[in-house]
């Protein structure tokens, strides 16, 4: 009986010693998409904006798992224009300069349910008003 126990213990020891020592590969998944000023400041849902300022989309990813990550490409669609963003880690979000249009602006990340929208109302020009006395 003791011999069977020691044989079983030896087999279990070998199986445990042969298990993987390396971490599984981690993946990067999208976690953030938002409209910002090109300097990083947030935009609200509806704004009157100066036409001479630059705007951007901020996209962030999250690392799932504990191993090494492979570079990941995420496709961003903004008002029909497509951008490819390459991420090698999840430390810093990427900022992509975009041109906003009057009305509805939509940013979507392919293969995810993440999207952001902002409606832009340009300031009314004085020439569009008629003085009534």
Beta pairing class for 115-120 and 46-47:
parallel
Dihedral sign from CA coordinates of 30, 36, 42, 48: negative
Task: Assign residue 82 the CATH number of its domain.
Answer: 2.60.40
| Residue 63 belongs to a domain | yes
**37 domain-assigned:** yes
Instruction: Specify the higher pLDDT residue, 3 or 94.
Output: 94
Cα separation, 16 vs 32, whole angstroms? 40
Domain range enclosing 71:
27-122
pLDDT in tens, 74-128: 999 999 999 999 998 777 899 999 988 888 899 999 988 999 998 877 666 555 6
Q: Which of 68-72, 73-77, 127-131 has the highest mean predicted lDDT (pLDDT)?
A: 73-77
Residue 1 has pLDDT above 70, yes or no: no
What pTM was computed for the model? 0.69
Inside any domain, residue 9: no
Domain annotation covers residue 88: yes
Q: How many domains does the chain have?
A: 1
Confidence class of residue 130 from pLDDT cuts 50, 70 and 90? Answer: low
pLDDT for position 21: 47
The verdict on residue 15 lying in a domain is no
**Does 130 reside within a domain?**
no
d(CA 29, CA 51): 34
In a domain, 32, yes or no: yes
Q: Is 131 a domain residue?
A: no
């Amino acid at each position: 009986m003791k011999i069977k126990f020691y044989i079983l213990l030896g087999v279990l020891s070998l199986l445990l010693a042969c298990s993987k020592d390396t971490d599984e590969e981690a993946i990067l998944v999208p976690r953030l998409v938002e409209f910002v000023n090109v300097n990083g400041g947030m935009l609200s849902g509806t704004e009157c904006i100066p036409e001479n300022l630059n705007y951007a989309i901020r996209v962030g990813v999250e690392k799932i798992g504990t191993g090494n990550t492979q570079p990941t490409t995420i496709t961003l669609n903004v008002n029909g224009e497509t951008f490819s963003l390459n991420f090698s880690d999840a430390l810093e979000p990427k900022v992509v300069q975009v041109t906003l249009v009057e009305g509805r602006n939509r940013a979507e990340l392919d293969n995810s349910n993440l999207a952001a929208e902002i409606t832009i109302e340009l300031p009314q020009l004085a020439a569009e008003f008629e003085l009534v006395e």
